[in-house]
Amino acid sequence: MPRKRVVRETVSLYEAKTQLSRLVDRAAAGEEIVIAKSGRPRARLVPLEDTRPLRIPGKGKGRWRVGKDFDAALPDDLLEGFEGRR
């Protein structure tokens, strides 16, 4: 998907403190905000690249099982393919 055009705006540290929620919303929408202290750029507020939700341990519990033969020895012909034996 094509990314939105980056609009770069510089705001003071004071403004960033007082308007953080609004600036975060703008960054999430694709804008890039530069935060300056005493007129010098110090940080950038940018949108996240990857916004997939974090994995939750145990979420799939009970949805699958490991077979009884999971750790059984491999057949000789398959084992030869892995080990390069002939």
Q: What is the pLDDT of residue 39?
A: 93
Q: Which of 27, 61, 30, 55 is nearest to 43 (CA)?
A: 27
- CA-CA-CA-CA torsion for 65, 71, 75, 77, nearest 10 degrees? 100
Q: What is the pLDDT of residue 16?
A: 96
Query: Containing H/E element for 40?
Result: strand 40-45
For the entire predicted model, the pTM comes to: 0.54
pLDDT in tens, 8-45: 899 999 999 999 999 999 999 889 999 999 999 999 99
* Domain annotation for the chain: domains and CATH numbers: 1-48 (3.40.1620.10)
Contact 55, 29 (CB under 8 A): no
Query: What does the pLDDT average to over 67-79?
Result: 88
Q: What is the pLDDT of residue 65?
A: 87
Residue 32 neighbours by CB under 8 Å, 6+ apart: 6, 7, 8, 9, 44, 45, 46, 47
pLDDT in tens, 37-51: 999 999 999 998 877
